[in-house]
Amino acid sequence: MDGAVAVTGVGVVAPCGIGPDAFWEGLLRPPADGDRVIPDWDPSPWFSNPKEARRADRFTQFALAATDMALEQAGDLAADPARMGVMIGTGIGGIRTNEEQIIIRHEKGDRRVSPFLIPMMMPNAAAASASMRHGFQGPCEAIVTACAAGTHSIGAALNTIRMGRCDVMLAGGSETPTCPTALAGFSNMTALSSTGESRPFDNRRNGFVIAEGAAVLVLERLEHARARGAEILALVMGTASTADAHHITAPAPGGSGAVRCMELAVSDAGLSAGDIAQINAHGTSTPLNDAAEAEAISKVFGAPGPPVTSTKGVTGHALGAAGALEAAAVVMSIKRKLIPPTIGFGERDPELPEIDIVADEPRPWTPGPSISNSFGFGGHNGSIIIGPAA
């Protein structure tokens, strides 16, 4: 437990549910096919007036909603604002605003471009907005490492508390990539499922289902959380980050970068591979990624190893928010003493190593240290270890 930090708040905005409890219930049932977007999103509960909401890109709106939920659950933090920081990552930030304003410029001319274009599209807008709204005056940063950004943000927040710089950190990710240009780009690189189905590790998988969403955790120095009598939902125990140094989109053969990342995260938590009780896999439903991750899991944990789930079977792939959503799922899994199933998995791929995939129904478990993986375009690997509060 040395070096662990407390999770005292969770906020989630996801297609399967808004708020951690609704999100959890959504993880247990099959989703509708197609892109995973938030139905009928209404930002007004988290903004003082419509003008304020209009001046925030959708990814910032999601991040602020998740932040407010997490802080409400955490309660009175009783901390020095200079020792409270923010790490909210993203893959592509305000791409929806960027696309909209490019169309306006093309059709109506330069003078019609919004003066809010830059602060709305910049990837650090979500982190900056959360910092300003809540007066967090410590480090305020936006990690942009594609699909690993949410996990890297939580890991960076953990280390910021460990090094003694902060007592409290907001950490997570937010993404809204479901605009026509982004969808066309992912489709033309043949990354997306041709059937609209997310089937992690399944023999029929043929691409991911793009998604939007956000999740934010409140992380606290353990002694600080205990001193104020906070409910400790879970502990973030370890983290690691590596690079494949191989290819801009494809994983390294044999999952070598993922192997190193998982091994380092387990070591950073002061654990051994045999201590890991659950793996929340990156599990995007792409042929190469799932094969590399399954091989990496088998190399680190043996066969069949700990139970493996990919919540992307429900959520789809929310890019820079994915790791944060999955961290929230692990916290809820600890709270509910259930591992959510890998929805969409039904036909085992004979080419993959034998790993213990949780399928069909949630699996009861005795909560223990869990590893959550994220692997991003560019060869970015991130792993965090989350365990139950002692």
Q: What is the mean pLDDT of the chain?
A: 96
Q: Using one digit for the tens of pLDDT, what is the confidence trace for 213-269?
A: 999 999 999 999 999 999 999 999 999 999 999 999 999 988 999 999 999 999 999
Contact 304, 348 (CB under 8 A): no
**Mean pLDDT confidence for 23-42:** 89
Residue 373: phi, psi to the nearest 5? -105, 145
Structure tokens at 228: 């104020």
Which CA distances in Å does 147 have to 56, 153, 377?
22, 11, 7
Could you give the CA distance from residue 332 to residue 338 in angstroms, rounded to a whole number?
8
Residue 343, token pair as written in the block: 């929805």
Which residue, among 122, 145, 137, has the nearest Cα to 170 in the 3D structure? 137
Across 77-99, b (16+ Cβ under 10 Å) vs e yields: bebeeebbbbbbbbbbbbbbbbe
Give the chain's domain count. 1
* Count of all residues that appear for the chain in the document: 390
Q: Please state whether beta strands 278-280 and 338-339 pair in parallel, antiparallel, or not at all (unpaired).
A: unpaired
- pLDDT for 128: 98
Tokens for 262? 């998982």
Torsion of CA 208, 244, 12, 25, to 10 degrees: 50
Which amino acid type is present at position 379? G
Looking at the chain, the whole-number percentage of residues with pLDDT higher than 70 is 99
Q: What is d(CA 243, CA 83) in angstroms, rounded to the nearest whole number?
A: 30
Report which of 344, 97, 293, 136 is spatially closest to residue 220, judged by C-alpha positions: 136
Mean pLDDT of 114-138: 98
Q: How confident is the model at residue 3 (pLDDT cuts 50, 70, 90)?
A: confident
What's the CATH code of the domain at 16?
3.40.47.10
- 57, 120 contact by CB (below 8 A): yes
Q: What is the pLDDT of residue 337?
A: 98
Looking at residue 2, what is its pLDDT? Answer: 63
Distance set, CA 91 to CA 41, 267, 331 (Å):
21, 28, 23
Residue bearing tokens 């937010």: 174
Backbone angles phi, psi at 237, to 5 degrees: -105, -25
What is the model's pLDDT at position 1? 47
- Cβ burial 5-20 (10 Å sphere, 16+ → b, else e): bbbbbbbbbbbbbbbb
Buried/exposed 117-134: b ≥16 CB within 10 Å, e otherwise? bebbbbbbbbbbbbbeeb
pLDDT recorded at residue 39: 85
225-234: pLDDT as tens digits: 999 999 999 9
What average pLDDT does the segment 127-151 reach? 98
b/e map 151-190, b = 16+ CB within 10 Å: bbbbbbbbbbbbeeebbbbbbbbbbbbbbeebeeebeeee
Question: Which residue type, as a one-letter code, is found at position 386?
Answer: I
Whole-number Å distance between alpha carbons of 235 and 333: 13
Cβ atoms of residues 352 and 201 within 8 Å: yes
Q: Which of 327, 298, 287, 288 has the alpha carbon at shortest distance from 311?
A: 327
Catalytic site residues?
147, 282, 317
**Domain housing 254:** 5-387
Whether 34 shows a pLDDT value over 70: the answer reads no
Residue 390: pLDDT band (50, 70, 90) is confident
Name the token pair of 197: 């189905």
Longest CA–CA separation in the chain, Å: 62
